[in-house]
Amino acid sequence: SQELEQSPQSLIVQEGKNLTINCTSSKTLYGLYWYKQKYGEGLIFLMMLQKGGEEKSHEKITAKLDEKKQQSSLHITASQPSHAGIYLCGAVYGGAQKLVFGQGTRLTINP
């Protein structure tokens, strides 16, 4: 079974609209990471969350980690075409050095 589940798997929104992507873990997280991937390209780091209840923002993107450290949401305000891509959440679990990824959410922005 998946350790990290992202929802939705794909999302199409009108430019200028807000949107939210969720990432749920089956276990308590040691750290939660959000990356963005454009098709056929590498992964671009967005944010890292470690503390329960933590919230971080970068430009129009905000990510939160819930108090129990098992769920994170990524919120984009006033979406733009440049936000299009695949958003990946990644998790580190206690005792491990590896980053485990969810299956990704493909975001399309319609003009």
- Which residues are near another protein by CB under 8 A? 31, 33, 35, 37, 40-45, 48, 88, 90, 92, 96-104
Cα 28 to its chain centre, rounded Å, is 16
> Residue 109 in contact with residue 80, Cβ under 8 Å?
yes
Residue of 106, 77, 61 lying closest to 17 (CA atoms): 77
Q: Please name every residue paired with 75 in a beta bridge, in sequence order, or none if there are none.
A: 20, 62
For residue 106, give both structure tokens: 């493909």
For residue 33, give both structure tokens: 């990471």
**Minimum gap (Å) between residue 30 Cβ and another protein:** 10
Between 13 and 92, name the residue whose CB sits nearer to another protein: 92
**Minimum gap (Å) between residue 21 Cβ and another protein:** 15
Between 79 and 90, name the residue whose CB sits nearer to another protein: 90
Between 77 and 106, name the residue whose CB sits nearer to another protein: 106
**Minimum gap (Å) between residue 77 Cβ and another protein:** 24
